[in-house]
Amino acid sequence: MIAYATKIDSDIELPFSLPTDAAIYYKINLSMHLPHKIKTSLRCGMKLYSSHGREVYLYSDGDLFRNEKTQFWCYEVENIVKFYWSSGSSKIYYELEEKQNKELFGFWFLHLFLPLYLSFEGMYDFFHAGAVEIGGKPIFFIAPSMGGKSTMTDYFLQRGHMLISDDKVATYQKDKQFIAVPSIPYHRPYRGFEELGYYTNHFSRKNKPIHAIYELKRAEEDAEVSIKEIKGYQKFDILLPNYLYVFSWIKEERFKYISQMLQSVSVFRVTVPWDMNRLDEVYDAINIHTNNIK
């Protein structure tokens, strides 16, 4: 099975439909056979965040604010699972809490832990965005929480466009291009806890250069639909809040990554009337605009 262009060999079967024919950029192994030395070596930890009604913690055998090669880590989801790994290793171990089902395990592994691990290990840079293809070209939708990203993504999927990601978009740089990586073929136009959402057959299988980024700007119901290009430092101000996992040891490098990305990827602001009956106007405007970008 493949997620985020990463082939996952696992000794636990995940109850989700993941592609087997997508692009592969990395490989990892998921195993329940946790080495005793990793578990017993962890000596410090902290609460990482609260998510989906649960507390998430991070532990290590070293400094929590730097990542050294072979450093041990543990990502704990309250009452669900613990994931262990050694920095620089493609082997991930898991320890399930009692009476936990595979659906919850799979949700936390695919939706939350795996993106963090891939970013933690310097494989990808992630952005909080919805992403689809228009004419085979990846575009991103960014907005504040409840700002319409998932609604817009779902609207495009209903019209046959290919999904890249509904929530977390992996990216990397290659040959001076910034590439979007398909995540998993699930999307959530709603916000239920601990659910991957709806499966879609319209799912991209290839890593492709990012074509454009659209910031969705909420407006009054009777507002005119408009698209305006953002220039200069405002592009950085728009993208930075949507950059995920700014770990202290790579902060400077990540800011450089965003700056370089914005030199080659255009950012546009879309005025979106807050009226579901006018989504077709927004859809048409973005389609026409995207196809006219050179």
pLDDT tens profile 217-264: 999 999 999 999 999 989 999 999 999 998 888 888 888 999 999 999
Predicted local confidence at residue 98, as pLDDT: 73
Angle at alpha carbon of residue 283, lines to 164 and 129, rounded to 5°: 35
Of the pLDDT bands very low, low, confident and very high (cuts 50, 70, 90), residue 191 is: confident
What the chain holds in terms of domains, given with CATH numbers, is 2-121 (no CATH), 127-292 (3.40.50.300)
Mean pLDDT of the chain: 94
Q: Is the pLDDT of residue 200 over 90?
A: yes
Phi, psi of 284 (to 5 degrees): -60, -40
Predicted local confidence at residue 21, as pLDDT: 94
Q: Cα separation of 27 and 7, whole Å? A: 5
Predicted local confidence at residue 133, as pLDDT: 98
For residue range 93-118, list pLDDT tens digits in order.
Answer: 999 987 778 899 999 999 999 999 99
Predicted local confidence at residue 248, as pLDDT: 84
Of the pLDDT bands very low, low, confident and very high (cuts 50, 70, 90), residue 178 is: very high
Predicted local confidence at residue 212, as pLDDT: 97
More confident residue, 148 or 57: 57
Predicted local confidence at residue 254, as pLDDT: 87
| Mean pLDDT, residues 154-175 | 96
Predicted local confidence at residue 110, as pLDDT: 97
For a pLDDT cut of 70, what percent of the chain falls above it?
A: 100
Q: Is the pLDDT of residue 294 over 90?
A: no
Q: Cα separation of 215 and 67, whole Å? A: 33
> What type of residue sits at position 32?
M
Q: Is the pLDDT of residue 286 over 90?
A: yes
Give the DSSP H or E segment for 138: strand 137-142
Predicted local confidence at residue 48, as pLDDT: 93
Note the pTM of the prediction, 2 decimals: 0.95
Of the pLDDT bands very low, low, confident and very high (cuts 50, 70, 90), residue 132 is: very high
| Mean pLDDT, residues 199-218 | 96
Contact residues for 38 (Cβ-Cβ < 8 A; gap 6+): 72, 74, 84, 86, 93
Predicted local confidence at residue 249, as pLDDT: 84
Q: Is the pLDDT of residue 266 over 80?
A: yes
Query: Parallel, antiparallel, or unpaired for β 54-60 and 44-51?
Result: antiparallel
Q: Do you know the residue count of the chain?
A: 294
Q: Is the pLDDT of residue 211 over 80?
A: yes
